[in-house]
Chain A
């Protein structure tokens, strides 16, 4: 099982002819992901690693009606248009890898996605991976099996590189991954921790979730609230990066765009406090997540 992507995921890559888009397509195909089509306006008729390219998403869907997910890999100022094109054409899962999307654009496309009931992950996502079944996006790079062994721990992270590092540390400790994804570190994340934790809650193949948070915004606080209100009952283990930034002048962005601390909000220490108050295990140093995960699972097993 896992969440969002599995063996039934059929992918179109928007921006497939770009340097990154084409490279990632090759990697996804090698992993066994079913990439049926690509879209690059003006390059219809080309073929990228055996995948046919269309000018419009509508044409791609007409030729490949089973497509059910889009990977958006277009330049920043085109990301909104591409995502809305996908949603307008009825695609229910859109994963935006593009970084540096203007916030007004993200806000527009999020509003549109909500109105159409589509799930958008990103922008600035590194992708979604369900080990052995589907790799959507650059997550795991050329050799995902190295960091992402199949198993029963979910990972949701604001940071792309830390999604893999977290998986690596967990797998080194003998755990495996059900689904790992990064939601991006922008001020507006189209999917947040609190949006995705209920999916992991409902997934019979996930026993616990490890979450990687960062300074800024309220998404970690929302996750704490969800746990407190009983919306997520499986063990949740968190690490919040950027505690050093508390000592820095407010208004500077360290890390991702959303990591800006403005108006006294978004402090990592406050996030840690909120999560701990909700009963979430929070690691002080990143590699401690493994010990906390083991503890949480042992405690749960003893309780059953």
Chain B
């Protein structure tokens, strides 16, 4: 889960990381104290709260010196759309004088298979640009996962990045606090870009990018962040419904659902199989209506819920229920859930199934019975049909269905 800047900063504050003084406004009626705030702090920055990057370049940040100007900027940015995602509010912050801008992030890295600290004296630019344009000015250092980031190690990293004397000490202190925050909150990415240095020599987090580990949420019952997509847009109704499927139920996974623009409903099993089949469908010219994956032997009711979500999207012309020859997912049980979903939705469009694995023959028989009972246009394949080749059958069926619809309209 990605946190908004205002959420990230309030987390930082708990660890003694300095952030500019600010107020978060999520509705016009909550904006009453702007005048007093501007009077108190002087110049302010008004920042739209969106999850997409490069907000400044898209007009999502305004600098103001007066209360009137600030109120206008708040109104403008309160529900602004930045890179396709609607702002959830604005953060009005004191604009600090700056004598230095630096880059700091903590994340995981596949080369080291450990947490890494990335630190540079060149703040303010994107990290890709930073590592390409100034590789010599950027240090990337692994951190011992069990031992953590002690002060001496943080000082070493800061010194390697070129921080000297008091700056080195202050950057090391910031890194130790940031690492504690990273570790204690199960953060996957913590990025402060830029870290700003004020004329008094204090370091502030001027921005906050925080990605929490969804897999660790159950040990942070105190977290109270509303659901969000991380897609650069709010979740759709169906995406929200899907998210609830796996909540508090670890038996298998069936809640991953991302809505896309196409017309072919995807019921796909397995993380690896799902992306292999998306590739196949697209390479043959099809347009998926969604991405999904279920697996890990989920109970029938989870698959039923997912089926209802997947099949309820308007404008579908076919459904492809596809998965590899399963290892341990009981195919009869997952298909029982699928059939329950079909019974509820009764799709008029064609369905193509390709599956195999434990209890596949029982599953096939149940699907055949359901086809008859519910009068479905359902084509059923087992392992005898190569998985990716069944994509062609779906596309053919979808075309036929579209032609039929066109005929009805005439």
Contact = CB atoms under 8 A, between A and B. Distances in A.
B346 to A, nearest CB: 29
Of the candidates B113, B183, B273, B389, the one having the most CB atoms from chain A within 10 angstroms of its own CB is B113
B108 A75 contact: no
Contact of B230 (A100, A146, A147, A252): A252
Interface in B366-390: 383, 386-389
A244 B282 contact: yes
A164 interface: yes
Contacts of B293: 255
Given A99-B296, A169-B386, A104 B186 contact: yes
Interface stretch (B90-98, B192-200, B215-223, B394-402): B215-223
A188 interface: yes
Interface in A258-304: 258-259, 262-264, 285-287
A54 interface: no
Given A104-B183, A138-B327, A217-B110, A241 B272 contact: yes
B114 A107 contact: yes
Nearest to A126: B327
Nearest to B84: A249
Contacts of A159: 270-273
B215 A103 contact: yes
Contacts of A100: 215, 250, 253
Interface string B26-60: 00000000000000000000000000000000000
Query: How big is the A interface, by class?
Result: 35 or more
Interface stretch (B8-16, B62-70, B302-310, B318-326): B318-326
Contact of B327 (A164, A239, A256): A164
A20 B297 contact: yes
Contact of B280 (A102, A105, A190, A285): A285
Contacts of B278: 242, 244-245, 254
Contacts of A139: 327
Of the candidates A141, A214, A219, the one having the most CB atoms from chain B within 10 angstroms of its own CB is A141
Interface in B319-340: 323-329
Of the candidates A27, A165, A249, the one having the most CB atoms from chain B within 10 angstroms of its own CB is A165
Contacts of A127: 327
Contacts of A263: 127-128
B325 A168 contact: yes
Interface string B210-240: 0001011011000000000011100000000
A157 B328 contact: no
A163 B274 CA distance: 13
A111 interface: yes
Contacts of B388: 285-287
A263 B251 CA distance: 32
Contacts of A162: 270, 272-273, 276, 324
Nearest to B107: A262
A264 B146 CA distance: 29
Instruction: Report the 3 A-B pairs with minimum CB-CB distance, sorted nearest first.
Output: A159-B272, A161-B270, A138-B328
